[in-house]
Structure 1
Amino acid sequence: MDKQHYLERLVLKLETHVPLPPAEREKLLQLPLTLKRLEANHDIVREGELTQQCCLVAEGLVCRYKIVGDGARQILSLHLPGDIPDIHSLLIERMDHCLGTLTPAVVGLIPHEAVRSLTRASYRVSEAFWRETLIEASIYREWMVGIGRRAAPSRIAHLLCEFITKMTAIGLSDGVICNLPLTQPEIADALGLSTVHMNKKLREIREARLVRIRVNRLTVLDWKGLCSLAEFDPDYLHLQPGAAKIKDD
């Protein structure tokens, strides 16, 4: 596993939101990284644990989640290669939720002190990480609106729009086709739906020929129609212009 390659993914992800000067890119590429390969459904950090390192998603799909009293899971966010979903642990060291893998994954562990030293030395890198946390908050707000006010078909369509837009921004989709390594129960856990209801409404979206999903592969057949159903406006992702241009047939 090439550590440099995975740190380049971090730089790419940060630059989907803000350009970085060459000197700052180089500093990020010098971060110490310990790589770990994990199976699907493996906890990286559990709720209540104290952390001394940040987790870079190098490969695979990672999520934040909480378990409620009856054992049901609520997925709070999805994280793609290049994300550091626990960057907040630099300042809030005790986890108030779990961070785990949804697929087989490779994660890179970066000591807190190394990240702190870098952010103290470079205000541009510090601003880039700060921007990431603010954009995460923006995404949380959009998910909250979806779960609270959107009908199930709109929620599902919105998740699909967001997922392929983010995958396109980091070069893992052409804007039409992308891997979607989520099971229907996992999508239901992210959207606050029962699996049965999720299955029914996803089938309606497929029958309307908005998307095709086969063997964990998502193909968008009607982007305008999918966005209309989702009420999807990508502004809340705060991507750089041209970072995720979706083909609009």
Structure 2
Amino acid sequence: MTPGHNAILLLRRLESIASLADEERRALENLPISAKVIPPHQDIVRGKERTSHCCLVLEGWAYRYKMLHEGRRQILSLHIPGDAPDLHSLYLDEMDHALGALSRVTVGFIPHEAIHNLIRRFPNLVAALWRETLIDAAIFCERITSLGQRDASKRLAHLFCELYLRLRAVGLADGHSYALPVTQLDLSDALGMTNVHVNRVLQELRRRELITLRGGRLTINHWPELVEVAEFDAGYLHLRPRADL
């Protein structure tokens, strides 16, 4: 992949939340991005690691997580192509959690120095990247709300709605259908539910014909109804308005 091609999804992601000038787009396209394929379930960045680059998901899915001493895993967030899950590493000395490959993932590594040079030249890109980190924090707030207050059906339906809008924003949803390369165990570790409970909720959503999940692909059959089940309000994603939903 050429550097410009590697930056396409980052451009799509930033332009889904902010306005960019042509000069800013060209600067992003010219970022030095070194791509590497990471096998599933391998760490991309380890906890406590000091890094000199930021990661950009180019293909596949990644996730942030923490491991407890007894071997239990908490998935903190799921990351799709176009996401830069560790922008905070620009200013923090070390990672306080790990970033791993959920599926086979192609990651673009961008030197911190290159990003610092970019934001010194283009103040509007500072605002766009800052907005991206604030939205990341808003997604964390919604996940905490789900873990603490939403019942199992709402919790899972809410995640499916969110992922659809995030994938659609970077052109990776086909209608109301999208690739979902996660296992029931991944969902249970992300949503604070047992594997058995996740299975029951999936069966219930299927029984109500709200979703179809087959071959690693999720189709939302009835978007308004799924939104109602989830009590989903997309405002926290701060996406620029679109008229085709």
TMscore range, shorter length: over 0.9
User: In structure 1, how many angstroms separate the alpha carbons of the residues matched to 2:137 and 2:38?
Assistant: 27
Which residue in the other structure is 1:118 paired with? 118
Q: Is the 8 A contact 1:57 1:107 kept in 2?
A: yes
CA distance in 1, matches of 2:70, 2:207: 34
For residues 1-39 of structure 1, the C-alpha deviation after alignment (integer angstroms, 9 at most, x for no partner) is: 333212111111100000100011111111111110111
- RMSD of aligned residue pairs (Cα, Å): 1.0
Contact 1:65 1:99 in 2 (8 A): yes
Give the superposition deviation at 1:228.
Answer: 0.8
Letter aligned with residue 211 of structure 2: V
1:148-193 CA distance string (max 9 Å, x none): 0000011000011111111111101134111111111101111011
Matches within 5 A, 1:17-56: 17-56=17-56
1:110-189 aligned at under 5 Å gives the runs 110-189=110-189
The aligned runs of 1:83-94 (5 Å cut-off) are 83-94=83-94
- The alignment status of 1:195 with 2:201, answered yes or no, reads no
Runs of 4+ in 1 over 2 A off after TM superposition: none
Matching residue's letter, 2:108: G
How many residue pairs end up in the alignment? 245
Letter in 1 for 2:234: P
In structure 2, what is the equivalent of residue 66 of structure 1?
Answer: 66
* Other-structure match for 1:238: 238
Per-residue CA distance 1:61-97 (angstroms, 9 max, x = gap): 0111111122111111111111110011000130000
5+ residue gaps, structure 2, are none
Task: Give the Cα separation in 1 of the matches to 2:78 and 2:157.
Answer: 15
For the 8 Å contact 1:3–1:35, the answer to whether it is kept is no
**Amino acid corresponding to residue 116 of structure 1 in structure 2:** H
SS in 2 for 1:13: helix
Distance in 2 (alpha carbons) for counterparts of 1:175 and 1:19 = 25
Q: In 1, are the aligned partners of 2:3 and 2:31 still within 8 Å (CA)? A: no
Normalized against structure 2, the TM-score is what? 0.97
Distance in 2 between residues matched to 1:155 and 1:68, nearest whole Å: 23
Q: What amino acid maps onto 1:2 in structure 2? A: T
Are the equivalent residues in 2 in contact too, given 1:164–1:175 (CA < 8 A)? Answer: no
Pick which of 45-54 and 174-183 moved more: 174-183
Percent of residue pairs bearing the same amino acid type? 46
Output the CA distance in 2 between the equivalents of 1:28 and 1:65.
28
